[in-house]
Amino acid sequence: MISFNLKNHALRIKQRLRENRVENLLWTVDFMPRLSGSSLEKKKKLNVPIWIITVGLLIYIYGVGSFVYQYRVAESHGDYIKSNVNVSIFILTLNNCIWWIRQRKLLIKVLKDVKVNDGLARSMTCSMEKSEKVLSVVKKVVLGFCGLIMINALFIYLPNRFNISNDQYCMTPCVGMGPIAETPNRQLCMVTIFVQEVGVIAVDINYQSMQILLMCHTAAMYHLLAHDILFLDEPILDEIQYQAVKEKLSFLIKRHVLSLDMIKNIQSLYSSPMGVNFGLNTVCIGLIFYLPTEEWMDFCPFVIYCFFVFFLYCYLSQKLIDASELFERSVYACGWENFEWRERRVVYIMLLQAQKPIQLLAADIVPVNIYTFATTIQMLYKFVTVMKF
């Protein structure tokens, strides 16, 4: 009976991963919150004990451990720089935890809008095949990101952190437990660090995968809008066909309004956290590259992770901008000259909205696009060149 249930469960998971539906992508991203009792699909309260343990262990291991190391152990500037990597991880993860707690209600609302918008796009006959292709790309991006980050976390990051005798991260582990080389202090410390690191990985991956999913799906919806609105440019032979065009236009307006709301909500959700994350990642990467080559090579997994996430955010934001510009051109080419004055006015208003630039801002200041990524990399290169050569 148990094997039969496991087999059915495995088949359901396989089917969810195979189908190109936004509900399955949301189920995948919501997997870890669902295990912790804080699922976003249901209107349940946060699992307070889980969050208390996660935040408490984070403060104890990273906060207290880094402070004690810098106060008692650190001697050279290299020790302080390497210890500040832990401080950056502490601030980033704490920032993500606060985001999950404070933005939960808005995030649940945004996920509802995502499902509604996706359902409206799939309900149009002309969008079915295109929707499958676009959502297939979104699925590959989200699953590929989660897979790469999990591989990096489980096989590179976690084993090094779990090894308490490894001092390359410059942090005092398990402050107050006594000599950690003795039994059972060593085993208790290893269990504590393991639980805490699993919490860090879960919080960070869920935060990032949710943001990537929302950005990818919104860009996909703009691509579908640009594709569908061109179907209005067809010969109108009688009143029946014109009524069908009016219904399609009304449908497309509703989808456009939902997409604009999505952009606004994504900006509200991620503006401040992105500002903190981008700033800390840039400073942390610059400090690591300041170290001698043989020392900063130990932080390669963390540096690669920071670069990869930073690039992905900027690249996906740029794709969102490109998709909105494509929709703007499609609105102008939708055959509005064949409409009556009332529908022409509606298309004109839609065009005015589409011409407003879409831009995600980190901390409501820094535009998130591929130019920002290139500029930041150039700045880091100049910093490293000046400081090391």
The whole-angstrom separation of Cα 305 and Cα 62 is 19
Q: How confident is the model at residue 329 (pLDDT cuts 50, 70, 90)?
A: very high
pLDDT for residue 2 is more than 60: no
The whole-angstrom separation of Cα 226 and Cα 256 is 10
Question: Looking at residue 89, what is its pLDDT?
Answer: 84
3-state secondary structure string, 180-199?
A: CCCCCHHHHHHHHHHHHHHH
Q: Count CB atoms within 10 A of the CB of residue 230.
A: 16
| Sequence-distant (≥ 6) Cβ neighbours of residue 278 within 8 angstroms | 310, 313, 362, 363, 366
DSSP 8-state symbol, 357: P
pLDDT for residue 4 is more than 50: no
The whole-angstrom separation of Cα 197 and Cα 173 is 12
Question: Looking at residue 328, what is its pLDDT?
Answer: 92
The whole-angstrom separation of Cα 334 and Cα 150 is 44
Q: pTM for the whole thing?
A: 0.89
pLDDT for residue 62 is more than 90: no
The whole-angstrom separation of Cα 14 and Cα 72 is 52
Record the tokens describing residue 55, joined without a space.
């935040």
Rounded average pLDDT over 343-360: 88
Bigger pLDDT: 84 vs 165: 84
Question: Looking at residue 324, what is its pLDDT?
Answer: 92
CA–CA–CA angle 307, 310, 313 (5° rounding): 145
Question: Looking at residue 193, what is its pLDDT?
Answer: 85
Residues 210-239: tens digit of each pLDDT: 899 999 999 999 999 998 888 887 777 678
Q: How confident is the model at residue 44 (pLDDT cuts 50, 70, 90)?
A: low
pLDDT for residue 179 is more than 80: no
How far are the Cα atoms of 58, 69, 173, 195, 297 from residue 61, in angstroms, in the given order? 5, 11, 6, 11, 24
How far are the Cα atoms of 148, 151, 154, 256, 297 from residue 301, in angstroms, in the given order? 11, 11, 11, 40, 9
DSSP string, 193-240: HHHHHHHHHHHHHHHHHHHHHHHHHHHHHHHHHHHHHGGG-S---SHH
